[in-house]
Amino acid sequence: MIMDTIIEVKGLKKYFKTPSGICHAVDGVDLSIERGKTVGIVGESGCGKSTLGRTMIHLTESTEGSIVFNGEDITRVGKAKLKELREKMQIIFQDPFSSLNPRMTAYETIEEPLRISKRFGKKEIAERTVALMRLVGIDKRIENSYPHELDGGRRQRIVIARALALKPELVICDEPVSALDVSIQAQILNLLQDLQENMKLTYVFITHDMSVVRYLSQYICVMYLGQVVEHCPTERLFENPLHPYTKALLSAIPVPDIHMPRKRVVLKGEVTSPINPKPGCRFFARCPHAAEACRRNQGLVEAEKDHFVMCSRLKEIG
């Protein structure tokens, strides 16, 4: 079967200069995503998953590496081409309270991308805006409401409508439900799934909620301090996690059954600082299996088919 790759990221790095040194927010990530699929990116806060998402669609400029989207390297294209490609890559933000302009009504926010693209006439913009509002389930009644008058779920629907206005192919979902009430989370997740089916969207789903990615994504990348430490199809990760960090992460998922015996892997210590990291395994300081071999730089190894892990002591750990 030929893989229809929508975006391929190679050796992507994003460093930030900080007063105390260089912060390796994203440090050498390789990723290739198949069209129409959902890839989950998980990791604890501060591991660089949001930065990865934003860098992938060139909202923040990458320091190094290539991002090939639909056959074109977006780190090299000119401004005009980038604008064209950007329409095909959109982002849904985590916090629907800060991702909507407080001075624009729901209608104005949704129509803005259509207006800016200059491809449609006045009448068509109006038609499309109404269609988009229906698509994401916003009542016509609230079209003239300002964001502060709406609840989180409705705001997030507006954000989604804005992102979908120009028919993107790739949508980065940066923790789209973590700021919402649990009851609304399910609604939004279902909406995202329906939209994916109907519009053939590809999602990059960034989250720290393991049960959400398990439900939505076919493929998972586990990130730790700017690096992807393990990636494989979703079910395999849950059945057979290989990296010690993934094991700890999975064991932290709450189980709704108090009688179920479970082994909790508790990590000691703090997340190592991403500023000027030492060479070798990033997880070294907290890993229960750390050994001398871990001080060397690590690479992703295919442990089994389609299952890549960045750990040099796989055999010893078993």
Residue ranges binding another protein (CB under 8 A): 54, 57, 59, 83, 86-87, 89-91, 93-95, 98-103, 105, 107, 112-113, 116-117, 128, 131-132, 134-137, 139-146, 148-149, 159, 162-163, 165-167, 191, 194, 198-199
Looking up tokens 């990865």, which residue turns up? 52
Residue 69 or 93 with smaller CB distance to another protein: 93
- Nearest C-alpha neighbor of 50 from the set 273, 180, 204, 261: 204
Residue 203 or 245 with smaller CB distance to another protein: 203
Residue 126 or 300 with smaller CB distance to another protein: 126
Q: In what order do the strands lie in the sheet with 307-309?
A: 89-92, 170-174, 202-207, 38-42, 219-224, 227-233, 307-309, 301-304
Give the shortest CB-191-to-another protein separation in angstroms: 7
Give the shortest CB-41-to-another protein separation in angstroms: 18
Give the shortest CB-133-to-another protein separation in angstroms: 10
Give the shortest CB-300-to-another protein separation in angstroms: 30
Measured CA to CA in angstroms, residue 266 lies from 44, 140, 237 at distances of 14, 49, 19
The set of residues, in sequence order, having a beta carbon less than 8 Å from that of 273 and lying 6+ positions away, is none
Give the shortest CB-90-to-another protein separation in angstroms: 6
Residue 194 or 304 with smaller CB distance to another protein: 194
Looking up tokens 């992460």, which residue turns up? 249
Residue 91 or 267 with smaller CB distance to another protein: 91
Strands (E) in 151-207, as ranges, are: 170-174, 202-207
User: Cα-flanking dihedrals φ and ψ of residue 232, to 5°?
Assistant: -170, 170
The set of residues, in sequence order, having a beta carbon less than 8 Å from that of 215 and lying 6+ positions away, is 189
220: its two tokens: 């998972």
133: its two tokens: 């509002």
Give the shortest CB-263-to-another protein separation in angstroms: 39
Residue 59 or 301 with smaller CB distance to another protein: 59
Give the shortest CB-180-to-another protein separation in angstroms: 15
Residue 146 or 238 with smaller CB distance to another protein: 146
Beta bridge partners of residue 24, listed in sequence order: 15
Neighbours of 110 (CB within 10 A): 30
Residue 113 or 274 with smaller CB distance to another protein: 113
Give the shortest CB-289-to-another protein separation in angstroms: 39
Q: Label residue 288 left, alpha or beta by phi (over 0 means left) and psi (-120 to 50 means alpha).
A: alpha
287: its two tokens: 């890993």
Q: How far apart are CA 74 and CA 233, in angstroms?
A: 27
